[in-house]
Amino acid sequence: MMGVLENLDTRTALGVLARAALAVEDEANPDAKAILDSEKTIRATILQEARQHLGIHQDDYSPETIEKLSDYLDQESDRLAGVPDTNAALKRLAERGDLPSDLYEIRIVEPIRDFHGAKFSLEKHLIEATIRSPTKEQHFGAESNFDEPALISLFARQFKTPFPYKDFTMLVAAQRDGLVLNVHQAWRIYPVILDELDIGRVENLVELLRRFADSYGFDVQIDGKQSHFFLRLDKLAPLQIRVDMPHGKSKYITVSQFLQRDRHTGHQFSALVVAVDLQQYRKTLNKMNLKLKDILNW
């Protein structure tokens, strides 16, 4: 319990915390009005302790800070009332990559929506089915190894159709943010296109992504390195790269990546960077002409 509340009984202390939380969000709220004679002083001390605990300056009243203070006071109320902090436990599981995938909220980034356009509904079904019931999955923790990505999860699932040559594996890569999965990459991998690749024998899902990039990637130069796949770069890659082609022509190659930030220094870098020729990938999708009714194993 916060030191300033120790002399109050539990019920009174809970009331003070609840009103303090309301006042943080909207001081004019009638329910936030102080009831105890010394409540304004107690409330000021509570907020001072909360800011110190969270490492927030006393004069910071930004919307993000207000949200953090409100959440902290709610957590203190739950702790005082003996309510298990289930949400915190779930977040710890998510940070380690141990949270069951059906408990995440799935958010798909706009570039994926834009690329598929009118056919995005089908792709959304495939992405969600892959995450909820993957055949294989791989998770990276929170900066345990500086040579690897952080807080990224990969999921793969095989889909069957009435036409064996249209069978494929969906590969989804997402950034974990608490209980949210932000999907930044989602690719259909057709063994018939990738030289009859036996996906089941691929060592891990990063290697599967690399094999996909071998087929649809386009070598670009980033940070002095020439490739179409980078596990990790010490800087942020550009979103598009212009490539000079024969006969004076040029084309733009899309760079898909995960933006990462060092928790200690704030330094930004990128991981799972794939330079993809989206025109070539779209040709495959159009050739396969997949429809929702073609999937036999939802």
What would the pLDDT profile of 177-235 be if each residue is shown by its tens digit? 999 999 999 999 998 887 666 676 777 999 999 989 988 988 888 888 889 999 888 88
CA angle 224, 229, 233 (to 5 degrees): 50
Please report the pLDDT score of residue 25 as a whole number: 85
> Is the Cα dihedral 279, 280, 282, 286 positive or negative?
positive
Please report the pLDDT score of residue 70 as a whole number: 87
Please report the pLDDT score of residue 59 as a whole number: 86
Please report the pLDDT score of residue 107 as a whole number: 97
Strand (E) positions, 59-132? Answer: 105-108
Q: In this structure, what are the phi and psi dihedrals at residue 71, rounded to the nearest 5 degrees?
A: -65, -40
Q: Rounded to the nearest 10 degrees, what angle do helices 39-54 and 63-81 cross at?
A: 110
- Check whether 244 has a pLDDT greater than 70: no
User: Which uninterrupted H or E stretch holds 244?
Assistant: strand 240-244
- What are the tokens at 22? 């309301």
What would the pLDDT profile of 118-161 be if each residue is shown by its tens digit? 999 999 999 999 999 999 999 998 865 567 888 999 999 999 99
Higher pLDDT, 2 or 70: 70
Of 43-52, 55-64, 89-98, where does mean pLDDT reach its minimum? 89-98
User: Amino acid letter at 181?
Assistant: L
Please give the Cα distance from 149 to 101 (Å, whole number): 19
Sheet holding 180-189, edge to edge: 105-108, 180-189, 168-177, 152-159, 136-139
